[in-house]
Amino acid sequence: MNLMYRFIAFIINVYIHITCRLHIGNELDKFPMKGPLIVLSNHTGQIEVPVYVALLQPRKFTGWAKIETWDNWFLNWVFNLWGMTPIRRGEADTTALRKAEEALAKGMIFGIAPEGTRNKNGRLLRAYPGAVLLAVRTGVPILPVAHWGGENYLKNLKRFKRTDFYLRVGDVFRLKVDGVKIKGDVRQQIADEMMYRVAELMPQEYRGAYEKAPEGMGTFTETIR
């Protein structure tokens, strides 16, 4: 399985470099080389996960993906190979939460896209609060990662045109929620604060719902120095 994982990652790496112009620089060097890590990212849905899987070698990247993806035989095989976890959107999926905790306990990188669905124009949608629960329960470091350009990937592919894909990595942070009752509006406030960490890495025109910092920014997150 490890050999197959590495082989597929190699093929994807080649494919990405053929179909994209990557504007990444040394950003991926900011990823810790060991230990559990939650990657908090925006979601355009076409190219970012393959980029993470291929370019973060030898570290393994996994995460949640909508359960409907497993209806496609090829994606079913690939996502199982990558150890992706199916999640039922719009409901409290305790099985998906438990599997995410297990992946982090093994020291893996676990990706979360709090928007819940891909945004088709690259502009950020407001975060759902579900990601907060995993971050609170595990207490592991969180790394904000922003990307843009990938929203044009399929359109460019049909025109045999390469896509300019940009990626930026922020500072690792933790939640500071000791003694806080995390209910309803508080959970959403935490999610917004987490998501703004992604937004501030992006050009202004991509920030969408997060053009401005949420009120009380810094209340629930702190950078790890």
Query: pLDDT tens-digit profile of 139-172?
Result: 999 999 999 999 999 999 999 999 999 999 999 9
Q: Is 179 exposed, middle or buried (0-12, 13-18, 19+ CB in 10 A)?
A: exposed
Beta strand segments in 67-177, E: 85-87, 109-112, 142-148, 163-169, 173-175
Share of the chain above pLDDT 70, in %: 99
For residue 157, what pLDDT is reported? 94
What does the alpha-carbon distance between residue 96 and residue 103 come to, in Å, rounded to a whole number? 11
Residue numbers of the domain that contains 29 = 2-223
For the domain that residue 29 is a member of, what is the CATH number? 3.40.1130.10
Distance between alpha carbon 59 and the CA centroid of its chain, in Å?
15
Mean confidence (pLDDT) of the chain: 91
For residue 69, what pLDDT is reported? 85
For residues 40 and 72, the answer to whether their CB atoms sit within 8 Å is: no
Query: pLDDT tens-digit profile of 9-54?
Result: 899 999 999 999 999 999 999 998 899 999 999 998 778 888 988 8
- For β-strands 221-223 and 173-175, DSSP reports them as antiparallel
Q: Is 160 exposed, middle or buried (0-12, 13-18, 19+ CB in 10 A)?
A: exposed
pTM: 0.92
For residue 187, what pLDDT is reported? 92
**What domain count does the chain have?**
1
